[in-house]
Amino acid sequence: MAFAAPAIPYVVAGLGYAQYKNQGAQGKFNQDVQNRNAEVAKQEAQAIQDQLQFDLGRADEASQRAVGKTEVSIAKSGVDIGSETANRIRFANAKEKEMQDKIMKYNADVGTAKKYEQANYFTIQGQVARQTAKTAQIGTLMSTGTSLMSAAKYS
């Protein structure tokens, strides 16, 4: 066994170096995963806004159909097209559409904000993972150095 003693510092240094490299790679990988999660959340936020535009377009189409039906119903009922009653109906329908549009926009904005907040959280988690790995690497360097110093003391 005495013949292996001179190799011990090299083995300790080699193992410490391998552990150091693995910790760095693991931290980088974990950060990359969290950064990818952040990108997905940002894409989901954009999808919410795209869906809003689609929904608003569909709501406009539905509103135009409703306006047409309302005009026909007003005309069929014998109410004068320019009467106060007809105008009140048009105004109420316009206010309802405006309210529905505002609700859709509000809900989309809330969903988008949540997704961006989630993206920020993932980015922070990635930074924490990377910093944790760096801290572990420092610990590895310290313990490897301590082991080497101990081995040198006994040789």
Q: What is the pLDDT of residues 39-64, one digit of tens each?
A: 999 999 999 999 999 999 999 999 99
Number of independent structural domains in the chain: 1
- Tens of pLDDT, residues 85-100: 889 989 999 999 999 9
Taking all residues of the chain, what is their mean pLDDT, rounded to a whole number? 90
- In one-letter notation, the amino acid at residue 8 is I
State the pTM of this model.
Answer: 0.75
The upper half-sphere exposure of residue 13, i.e. CA atoms within 13 Å in the direction of its Cβ, equals 9
* CA-based nearest residue to 123, from 38, 25, 5: 38
Rounded Cα gap, residues 118 and 129, in angstroms: 16
Copy the structure tokens of residue 51. 């869906």
Residue pair 27/129 in contact (Cβ under 8 Å)? The answer is yes
Identify each DSSP E strand in 83-150 by its residue range.
none
Q: Which of 147, 148, 136, 129 lies closest to 22 in space, CA to CA?
A: 136
Could you list the residue range(s) of the whole structural domain that residue 13 is in? Answer: 2-153
